Amino acid sequence: MKPQQAATEPAVQLQDVNKWYGDFHVLRDVNLTVGKGEKVVICGPSGSGKSTSIRCVNRLEEHQEGTIIVDGIEVNSDMRQIEAVRKKVGMVFQSFNLFPHLTVMDNLTLGPMLSQGVPQDEARDRAQQLLRRVRIPEQAHKYPGQLSGGQQQRVAIARALMLQPQVMLFDEPTSALDPEMIHEVLDVMTELAEAGMTMICVTHEMNFARKVADLVVFMDAGEIVEAAAPEAFFEAPRNERTRLFLSQILH
């Protein structure tokens, strides 16, 4: 982990970002800089704006005020800008979002072949390498319905990596899993982090945050309440709202 690298080379920047759903102010002056190679974990209670903030990064949600920049490209309403950003950003969702009628191999190769023009043989080679990386190479020709939840989520991670993103977003990737499957996914995410991938993870897995994060961010009511390195965040949180949240979530 190299937080000092983050200060010199920003990968993702949110500057005074605001968003409303009608009259509901869901993001309030959010400021966050994620450096290249940095791992950021965002936590907070339900409805605090965590998922909305990362969904704004690749324009799955539209922010109304402020600036979001990904690797020098501003995220705005220009479709060319959005497409350029999405080529740099991979995302893994709470639900696996795999195509149920396609095999694992076809789920992985479809995107690169259609969006990047990657030849089929090259796409299949890349997919097989990534399936080995997420420890399920033997599942290549099965359908999602034949896999466990943990296996499906690892396929979803591999699919996001197929487009060779520079930034990975994880939106509560373990919250839909049975407890015994969570570690399968967290182990893959940990290895990805250790390999130097820039990551923003919305999660309540605090052991993962302690082990992997360069920065832990606590959000509540659409605001970043506290942001600190893991040791300071867990051992000496400054804000009372952070302390209350940790007392409820840490056992």
pLDDT of residue 8: 58
- Each residue's pLDDT, cut to its tens digit, for the chain (251 residues) gives 334 344 558 999 999 999 999 999 999 999 999 999 999 999 999 999 999 999 999 999 999 999 999 999 999 999 999 999 999 999 999 998 999 999 999 999 999 999 889 999 999 999 999 999 999 999 999 999 999 999 999 999 999 999 999 999 999 999 999 988 999 999 999 999 999 999 999 999 999 999 999 999 999 999 999 999 999 999 999 999 999 999 998 86
pLDDT of residue 229: 97
Between strands 89-92 and 198-202, the pairing is: unpaired
CB 131 within 8 A of CB 103: no
pLDDT of residue 5: 41
Who contacts 176 (Cβ-Cβ below 8 Å, separation ≥6)? 94, 95, 96, 149, 153
Identity (one letter) of the amino acid at 81?
A: Q
What is the signed CA dihedral for 51, 173, 230, 225, rounded to 10 degrees?
Answer: 20
User: SS3 for 203?
Assistant: coil
User: SS3 for 34?
Assistant: strand
pLDDT of residue 251: 64
- In what side-by-side order are the strands of the sheet with 223-228? 89-92, 167-171, 198-202, 39-43, 215-220, 223-228
pLDDT of residue 9: 87
Q: Distance of CA 71 to CAs 92, 177, 221, 248, 249, Å? A: 19, 32, 28, 36, 34
Give strand pairing partners of 41.
Answer: 201, 216
pLDDT of residue 115: 87
Dig out the tokens for 1 from the structure: 């982990």
Who contacts 29 (Cβ-Cβ below 8 Å, separation ≥6)? 16, 17, 18, 66, 223
Who contacts 155 (Cβ-Cβ below 8 Å, separation ≥6)? 96, 98, 104, 107, 108, 131, 134, 136, 139, 144, 147
